[in-house]
A and B are shown apart, each in its own frame.
Chain A
Amino acid sequence: MNGVGTPDLDDLGRQQLMARWVKSHTGDLVRYARSRVKDPDTADDLVQLTFVSAWQGMEKFARESSPRTWLFSILKHKLADHYRKAYSEGQHLSGIEIADDDPTITFAPNGRWTSTSRPTVTDHAFDQDEKERLDRALVHCLEHLPDNLRAAVEMKYLLEKDGKEIQRTLGISATNYWQQLHRAKLKLRKCIEDRLDHNN
């Protein structure tokens, strides 16, 4: 039997192998993609593009890595590319900048928390027993982040926390990236805390 991904696999063999991959991995790839982009159709399109790339590059698939790992790495690249484009277009259109008077991310002039922005001090960070509620709050709050901040957050995970690579891909300076990531986290945290309190 021919090895997986070897050039001597005939067309029928390639098609059968690909059909198996589509059947086994589409579900998980979609779940991954849909939790990372706002629009489900866009997520599905990126999964489809992932398989197109996999099909075209099947010869490059090394036997050592599992198909799942390989497909996920292609999908991550597609997602990163999606955010790179969204980021540059968004910047271009509106020069997106968040107002500095946003109360969720403002510190006092002396650099301290204001009474509206500071976290509630508890023994445990959020309620770890309620993972599901926290997950739901997180999804909601991510979707309400401005596009450029969402891109900053997503890139951190898509590009495996490689700061330099992220800054290069987004075409922004290190300082600018830290600022965006910082703002995104401040907004996310505040939004999650408010939402968890609100639903109690």
Chain B
Amino acid sequence: MAFTSYLMIHCRKATELGERRELEPLTFVEQAGLWFHTRMCKYCKAYLAQSEVIDEHLQERLGPPVDTEALEARILSGIER
């Protein structure tokens, strides 16, 4: 079997590797497979770009400001008891 066949991965695999590389290093073959795949597949290229934007938003998200006066009182009375 040709070496290049190791590098041929499908979209399901490519998108999974895109997720995994965030948390642990991929093997050389996996990296190369992902690299080749995203050069050939416009959908996965778009997916990975969108995925990156989602990750940034997930990392930074903060809810809207809320009035916490009642909660602050509850916290303090719980502690001082």
Q: Which residues of A contact B (CB under 8 A)?
A: 15, 18-19, 22-23, 26-28, 30-36, 44, 47-48, 51-52, 55, 107, 110-113, 118-122, 124-126, 128, 134-135, 138-139, 153, 156-157, 161-163, 166, 178-179, 181-182, 185-186, 188-189, 192-193
Given contacts A119-B47, A157-B58, A193-B50, contact A26 B72 (CB under 8 A): yes
Q: How many contacting A-B pairs (Cβ < 8 A)?
A: 127
In the bound assembly, the distance between CA atoms of A7 and B47 in angstroms comes to 53
* 21 A-B residue pairs with CB within 8 Å: A26-B72, A27-B66, A31-B64, A48-B78, A52-B79, A111-B13, A113-B44, A118-B43, A119-B43, A119-B47, A119-B50, A121-B42, A122-B46, A139-B61, A153-B58, A156-B23, A166-B23, A178-B16, A178-B20, A185-B51, A185-B54
* Cβ-defined contact, B79 with A55, below 8 A: yes
Q: Which residues of B contact A (CB under 8 A)?
A: 9-13, 15-16, 19-20, 22-24, 42-47, 49-54, 57-59, 61-66, 68, 71-72, 74-76, 78-80
